[in-house]
Amino acid sequence: MANSDSNTEKNTEPRSPNLAPMWRPGQSGNPGGRPKGASLTNRLRKALDANDGQLAEVVVKVLLREAAKGKYQHLREVLDRVEGKVVQRVELNATVQQAQDQFLAAAERALEPEQLRRLVSELGRVRAAMALEAGSD
């Protein structure tokens, strides 16, 4: 019942010209992409570096002052910047074979046969590489 005038089955009113797509399918609305240096991060860096870094000094002083007051977010930011973010360790109580079996069982339900075949092949290569690496220790 739908026709080429962008009418829907429930609504036979013609589509408003204001709602018509501006670009054809596959055509980019921004072929040149974002201009170089236009990101927020670059703008912040430029602003912090201006005037011999005076603004950066103010930001550092405020951050340290608030961290010293015990404000958790400020303290965490200082520690993350100085010490690096804490890496969460995860303990895995499974063999590579058990993990592979569970992964493949889930994949069988979600993947097409050809995708599953490629996945099994890739897992075999990973297992072989791990065996070689373990043998070289």
Q: Cα–Cα distance between 85 and 81 in angstroms, integer?
A: 8
Q: In terms of domains, do 47 and 74 share one?
A: yes
Q: Cα–Cα distance between 44 and 97 in angstroms, integer?
A: 48
Q: Decide: pTM greater than 0.75.
A: no
pLDDT per residue over 4-44, tens digit each? 444 445 556 666 666 666 777 777 777 777 777 678 888 89
In a domain, 72, yes or no: yes
Domain that holds residue 116: 96-135
With a cut of 70, which residues of the chain have pLDDT below it? Answer: 1-21, 37, 90, 92-94, 136-137
pLDDT of residue 34: 73
Give the count of domains, the chain: 2
